[in-house]
Amino acid sequence: MRAVVQDRYGAAPEGLLRCAETARPQIGPGEVLVRVCAASVDRGTWHMMAGLPYPVRAAGFGLRRPKNANPGRALAGVVAAVGADVTGLEPGDEVLGVGAATFAEYACARADKLAKKPANLSFAQAATLGVSGLTALQAVRNHARVTAGQKVLVLGASGGVGAFAVQLAKADGAEVTGVCSTTKVGLVRSLGADRVVDYTREDALDGGTQYDVIIDTGGNRRLADLRRALTATGRLVIVGGETGGRWLGGTDRQLRAQLLSGFVGQRLGSFLTSENATDLGALAHLCASGDLTAAVDRTYPLAETAAAIRHMLDGHVRGKVVITV
């Protein structure tokens, strides 16, 4: 099969990722072989490609060199084969979810990290749900626990996670303010945000509005600034933010938030996305009913995976960039 191959860690995709002929992955019990139709790119793709921050390597992605052939994870495609013990999926089913080394014609995925693809979603759209959609769903519903009428601020509303978070908070009846840069204001408005703040011109944390919930996916603002814009019992959910730090990569801010949370009236915290079929199914259902849509900015063919990652690193993506296979 054709697959993207990465032999070493590196911060720039150029010269690092190449297309090659490789063997199809072997599946074990509980696993599914997926003929990949699309695989999306997200900030986690870069972290795995670069092996940064270093704890990523210790988390099982390979200490000295990448364990997986390539850093693709979110995917959509067609089931080619199922391993022993897999129930509910069979060859020919169209699926979406999370697998390993998904920038390839075939990828292996655990059956409990897949859900059936709704017919109204293209494979490219479906491939965006696996990492970014899941993260947004869990941020809005499980961690921020958004309820109708709340004022919700999404920092990074034009990004992979943020674009879903805006829509999910709206679907739950919140009044949503989205923060992004100038050229992406139209996108965030089109996703249903009640108000859009262009962070190059205005500060959403200036104290003019107090929010019940802040979902932070970008900008790396100080905890004190974030807390000032929260109500006394508000919830701050830090999804992430790129700092370039090689050891902590911004996770120190998340840890400090979690520690402080026990001592103040506000709930401050972070989480790691849980990759599970139930939440993927919930996202698929929301897309099927038209309550959620995947904002696909651009698609790239497999051979141009490095260019797709560069497009994201340069900050050009509106929503998601997807590799089609």
Ligand X SMILES: NC(=O)c1ccc[n+]([C@@H]2O[C@H](COP(=O)([O-])OP(=O)(O)OC[C@H]3O[C@@H](n4cnc5c(N)ncnc54)[C@H](OP(=O)(O)O)[C@@H]3O)[C@@H](O)[C@H]2O)c1
Which range in 13-21, 62-70, 93-101, 176-184 contacts ligand X by CB under 6 A? 176-184
Q: Answer yes or no whether residue 315 interacts with ligand X by CB under 6 A.
A: yes
Tokens at 261, concatenated: 């949370």
Backbone phi, then psi, for 182, in 5-degree steps?
A: -50, -50
The rounded radius of gyration (Å) of the Cα atoms in the chain is: 19
Q: Supply the DSSP symbol for 101.
A: S
Residues 6 or more apart in contact with residue 93 via CB below 8 angstroms: 78, 79, 116
One residue of 69, 144, 176, 239 binding ligand X per CB under 6 A: 239
Least Å distance between CB 219 and ligand X?
A: 3
For the CA atoms of 177, 182, 186, 188, the dihedral, rounded to the nearest 10 degrees, stands at: -30
Least Å distance between CB 45 and ligand X?
A: 9
One residue of 6, 102, 132, 299 binding ligand X per CB under 6 A: 132
Least Å distance between CB 41 and ligand X?
A: 9
Q: Of residues 50-109, which lie at the interface with ligand X (CB under 6 A)?
A: none
For the CA atoms of 294, 297, 299, 305, the dihedral, rounded to the nearest 10 degrees, stands at: -110
Q: Answer yes or no whether residue 184 interacts with ligand X by CB under 6 A.
A: yes
Least Å distance between CB 90 and ligand X?
A: 30
Q: Answer yes or no whether residue 32 interacts with ligand X by CB under 6 A.
A: no
Q: Which is nearer to ligand X, 150 or 158 (CB)?
A: 158
What's the burial of 243, exposed, middle or buried (CB within 10 Å: 0-12/13-18/19+)? middle
Contacts with ligand X: how many residues (CB under 6 A)? 31
Q: Answer yes or no whether residue 118 interacts with ligand X by CB under 6 A.
A: no
Neighbours of 223 (CB within 10 A): 16
Q: Answer yes or no whether residue 43 interacts with ligand X by CB under 6 A.
A: yes
Whether the CA torsion 47, 49, 54, 59 is positive or negative: it is positive
Q: Which is nearer to ligand X, 212 or 216 (CB)?
A: 216
Please name the amino acid found at residue 267. R
Contact positions toward ligand X, by CB under 6 A? 42-44, 131-132, 135, 155-162, 179-181, 184, 199, 217-219, 239-242, 271-273, 315, 317
